């Protein structure tokens, strides 16, 4: 078995390798999170580069209900073959939720409970059956994120061919023994950031040589904030947050901090949101919040370009696609120090500040308001950094030359 | 200046301050980092990713911001109920910080006693001010009289809790220090691993 694990990819002259990407949902415009977007984009780029590429996913759209909404079968999206398979109808959502809650509370699970937790976390026998039958025709299976039972089930089919795209962050689920076994079993990992790889090394003794930092490429864009500014109807500086608004993403914390900042300093800094979810904010802050909801990419980029800073208060990130987009728009980041991945992006790009608590937040925000030239310099550095390190050319180089050669 | 390629480790080159800011003495400098790639020594000699080439030293800016915030915390500028409220949802994230307990124990010690002393009573409205002040003073006296027993007991409980927590923290800190010393000593005695 060991010799099989070390079996290399077909030689370069035999053409591009055949790749199966697996993720629990298909990323659609504005409807799902970063991990799904990342996997879809990588699959699209791999398909464009040639060779056989398929993205295997479930028919689910909603990450709470996992209800089968897409019709099962094969479809093509921008040249990428996507195969939809139903989530098992006999999935015990209640058992899964019970186990999930217990893990969240830090309670240990028995081996049987842990197995049940994974078995009921987005299972798709149809997807696994298809992959089992087609395994011989694929050189590599790229599956993620780590958290889903589907990922573990796929990795178990052919660990020697599986490259995990874990999107790992420090949360109770990452400490489950089954996840440690998952990392130990696969051929290698494609990480989004160096801190994510370091976390895998810390949690699972994952050897750095079996992982490569790849990330996701971003298309360059230019954005004019002026028309959006007019629509916003105010001239005050604002912090922007884009994405899902929920406690785990830290949006209530951001609202509380901005409200306190306004009350204590008397400075008119507003909050602009794009994305989905209810905004949990103090009543007094409501007039200072603008919720744009789902917007076009052009509007999102304009909102980024016009912001004082892009605020990312989440501690549970393995990457920061929206933060990098903001850098590309020339806007610096203001992120929570509790997220090593976001902190590393700000530090490595030289394009953002990070805060531990309100004291840091207030001081950093005052600094950004009072140092316009420096703020612009940070933004410019961020844009240059993204163009250099997160262009598709750079990402494809890391993916094809390093990732697929693990 | 070209980027260093193929060298392990990192270096920073300062070209001098562009501008000095007013948060502490935050300096914006041009910094140049070498490559940063923990996996490189075991994989290849070409960099996986380069970081911060020709960048602003944000680590320095953040360090200055932190120092400034720490100075303000020490001076009690954040002893503010609004900050405490805002910080509630951040507590979980702060648990990972090494100095979390010290920071919050200090806050607890500062805020442990409910202040039931008398205070100066003012009235901003000009019309009927003396009468209003007199009314407020009477109200406060009554409130203090009827709640004194409650608050003094609450203060007693708060102080007991704070002292107990303080004692526990000190005791375990000493114990951990002793254990760390012992582990280090035992590790020193172990034969070297080949």
- Which residue out of A314, A363, A389 would a mutagenesis test of the B interface target, given it has the greatest number of B Cβ atoms within 10 Å? A363
In sequence order, which residues have a C-beta less than 8 Å from that of residue A397 and are 6 or more positions away? none
In sequence order, which residues have a C-beta less than 8 Å from that of residue B47 and are 6 or more positions away? B5, B6, B35, B37, B40
- Which pLDDT score, from 0 to 100, does residue B9 have? 24
A293-326 burial: b if 16+ Cβ within 10 Å, else e: eebeeebbbbbbbbbbbbbbbbbbbbbbbbbbbb
Where residue A171 falls among pLDDT bands split at 50, 70, 90?
A: confident
- Which pLDDT score, from 0 to 100, does residue A29 have? 65
Give the helix/strand (H/E) hosting A227: helix A226-232
- Which residue out of B12, B54, B55 would a mutagenesis test of the A interface target, given it has the greatest number of A Cβ atoms within 10 Å? B55
* Cα A15 to Cα A400: distance, rounded to the nearest angstrom: 12
Q: Which candidate from B48, B59, B82 shows the least CB-CB separation from A402? A: B48
Are B58 and A398 within 8 A, CB to CB?
no
Minimum mean pLDDT among A117-121, A142-146, A355-359, B78-82: which range? B78-82
Give contacts of A349 with chain B, Cβ < 8 Å: 51-52, 55
Section B15-31 average pLDDT: 32
Q: Over the stretch A183-238, which tens digit does the pLDDT of each residue have?
A: 999 999 999 988 899 999 999 999 989 999 998 899 899 999 999 999 999 999 99
State phi, psi for A383 to the nearest 5 degrees. Answer: -65, -45
Q: Which candidate from B23, B39, B86 shows the least CB-CB separation from A363? A: B23
* Cα B175 to Cα B169: distance, rounded to the nearest angstrom: 10
Q: Which candidate from A315, A366, A378 shows the least CB-CB separation from B23? A: A366
* Cα A354 to Cα B96: distance, rounded to the nearest angstrom: 15
Closest Cα of chain B to A220: distance in Å?
19
Does the model's ipTM exceed the 0.85 cut? no
Are A371 and B21 within 8 A, CB to CB?
yes
Section B37-46 average pLDDT: 32
Q: Over the stretch A361-382, which tens digit does the pLDDT of each residue have?
A: 999 999 999 999 999 999 999 9
- To the question of pTM greater than 0.80 for the whole model, the response is no
Q: Over the stretch B76-117, which tens digit does the pLDDT of each residue have?
A: 888 888 888 888 778 665 665 556 677 677 767 777 888 788
């Amino acid at each position: 078995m060991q010799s099989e694990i070390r079996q290399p990819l077909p030689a370069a002259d035999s053409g591009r390798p055949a790749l199966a990407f697996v993720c629990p949902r298909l990323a659609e415009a504005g409807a799902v999170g970063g991990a799904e977007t990342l996997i879809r984009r990588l699959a699209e780029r791999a398909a464009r580069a040639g060779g056989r590429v398929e993205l295997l996913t479930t028919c689910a759209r909603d990450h709470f209900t996992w209800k089968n909404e897409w019709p099962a079968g094969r479809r093509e999206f921008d040249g990428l073959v996507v195969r939809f398979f139903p989530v098992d109808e006999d999935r015990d959502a209640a058992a899964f939720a019970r186990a999930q809650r217990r893990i969240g509370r830090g309670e240990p699970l028995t081996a049987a409970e842990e197995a049940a937790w994974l078995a009921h976390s987005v299972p798709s026998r149809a997807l696994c059956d298809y992959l089992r039958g087609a395994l011989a025709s694929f050189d590599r299976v790229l599956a993620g994120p780590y958290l889903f039972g589907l990922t573990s089930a796929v990795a178990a089919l052919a660990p020697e061919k599986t490259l995990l795209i874990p999107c790992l962050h420090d949360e109770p689920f990452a400490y489950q023994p089954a996840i440690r076994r998952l990392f130990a079993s696969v051929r290698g990992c494609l990480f989004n950031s160096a801190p994510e790889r370091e976390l895998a090394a810390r949690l699972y003794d994952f050897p750095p040589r079996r992982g490569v930092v790849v990330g996701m490429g971003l298309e360059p864009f230019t954005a004019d904030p002026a028309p959006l500014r007019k629509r916003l109807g105010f001239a005050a500086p604002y912090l922007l947050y884009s994405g899902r608004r929920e406690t785990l993403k830290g949006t209530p914390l951001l609202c509380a901090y901005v409200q306190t900042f306004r009350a204590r300093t008397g400075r008119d800094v507003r909050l602009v949101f794009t994305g989905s979810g209810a905004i949990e904010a103090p009543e007094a802050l409501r007039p200072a919040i603008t919720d744009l909801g789902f917007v076009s990419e052009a509007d999102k980029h304009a909102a980024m370009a016009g912001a004082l800073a892009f605020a990312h208060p989440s501690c549970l990130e393995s990457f920061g696609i929206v933060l990098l987009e903001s850098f590309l728009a020339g806007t610096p980041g203001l992120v929570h120090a509790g997220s090593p991945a976001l902190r590393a992006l700000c530090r490595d790009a030289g394009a953002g500040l990070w805060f531990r608590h309100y004291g840091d937040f207030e001081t950093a925000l005052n600094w950004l308001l009072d140092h316009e030239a420096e703020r612009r310099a940070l933004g410019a550095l961020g844009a240059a950094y993204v163009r250099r390190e997160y262009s598709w050319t750079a990402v494809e180089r890391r993916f094809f030359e390093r990732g697929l050669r693990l | 200046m070209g980027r260093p390629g193929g060298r392990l480790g990192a270096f920073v080159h300062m070209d001098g301050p562009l501008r000095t800011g007013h948060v502490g003495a935050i300096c914006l400098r041009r910094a140049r980092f070498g490559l940063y790639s923990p996996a490189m020594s075991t994989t290849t000699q070409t960099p996986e990713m380069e970081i911060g080439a020709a960048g602003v030293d944000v680590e320095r800016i953040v360090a200055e911001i932190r120092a400034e915030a720490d100075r303000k915390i020490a001076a009690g500028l954040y002893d503010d109920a609004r900050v405490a409220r805002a910080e509630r949802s951040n507590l979980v994230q702060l648990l990972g910080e090494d100095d979390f307990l010290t920071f919050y124990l200090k806050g607890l010690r500062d805020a442990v006693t409910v202040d039931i002393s008398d205070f100066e009573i003012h009235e901003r409205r000009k019309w009927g001010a003396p009468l209003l002040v007199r009314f407020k003073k009477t109200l406060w006296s009554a409130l203090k009289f009827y709640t004194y027993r409650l608050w003094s007991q609450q203060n007693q409980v708060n102080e007991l809790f704070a002292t107990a927590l303080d004692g526990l923290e000190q005791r375990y800190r000493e114990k951990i220090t002793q254990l760390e010393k012992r582990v280090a000593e035992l590790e020193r005695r172990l034969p070297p691993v080949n």
